[in-house]
Structure 1
């Protein structure tokens, strides 16, 4: 594993975080990443973590908890740093923070075409639930 420091996100990390998200294909036209960061900073900002290696942001994860379920969003590791245990370290950190809040279960959504990340989550104990994910946009970003 590459030596990394995992710490809370700081606003000065914004552009580096978005660069990681873009490199990982997480930025989509219907979500403005700057607005996603601003929204996260209003709700559980302590559950937004970054991984630092070689002096720069190389990984991210956003966690959330509303009292019933925890959620994971924007788990990403720069392609040049993947396979070094950084994603696992980010998940271990965010799971520990959610558990400390009393969170009984974590949910996350993955695009069904992203086989590699589905396999990654399977290796760290996540299972495909027999559910259908529905969504409704209340505030358009574009």
Structure 2
């Protein structure tokens, strides 16, 4: 498995993956935030590739010197194989390299079920930013 920064050629397979994994309302919100993040800082969008196929993605952002995990998605056939954890770890490295003061998990109604994944990586309730705002409102 290869983890790397999003490239423009990834757009179609990433949107296909997101539409496969996310609910319709989550997909719409995520696509808006995804477009904004690509415009602001595409280095914080990481994809997981296996056999030249995009199998996972994580979207992060930095606001006020704080790093945020915004959305993570892994193809159904690839779930529970460590890809999500690897994506989180890779994005964490980018946050650390940029010397953010704190790393938070942006929690909304669409990803609350993923909190045990973050907890298994050492994140605590104090690291969860429960916000029902869109990424475009969280970041500036």
Q: Same fold (TM over 0.5)?
A: yes
Cα separation, 1, equivalents of 2:105 and 2:84: 14
Contact 1:21 1:74 in 2 (8 A): no
The 5 A counterparts of 1:1-142 are: 4-25=1-22, 27-28=24-25, 31=29, 33=31, 35-112=32-109, 116-129=113-126, 133=131, 135=133
- Aligned-pair distance for 1:55? 1.6
Deviates more, 1:109-118 or 1:79-88: 109-118
TM-score, structure 1 normalization: 0.79
Unaligned 5+ runs, structure 2: none
TM-score, structure 2 normalization: 0.80
Unaligned 5+ runs, structure 1: none
Contact 1:14 1:37 in 2 (8 A): no
- Identify if the C-alpha distance between structure 1 residues 75 and 136 changes in structure 2 by more than 3 Å, giving closer, same or farther: closer
Deviates more, 1:87-96 or 1:10-19: 10-19
Q: Secondary structure at the match of 1:44?
A: helix
Kindly report the root-mean-square deviation, in angstroms, between the aligned alpha carbons of the 2 structures: 2.7
- Aligned-pair distance for 1:114? 5.1
Cα separation, 2, equivalents of 1:84 and 1:107: 23
- Aligned-pair distance for 1:50? 0.4
- Choose 1 or 2 for highest CA Rg: 1
- Aligned-pair distance for 1:133? 2.6
More helix by share: 2
Cα separation, 1, equivalents of 2:135 and 2:52: 37
More strand by share: 2
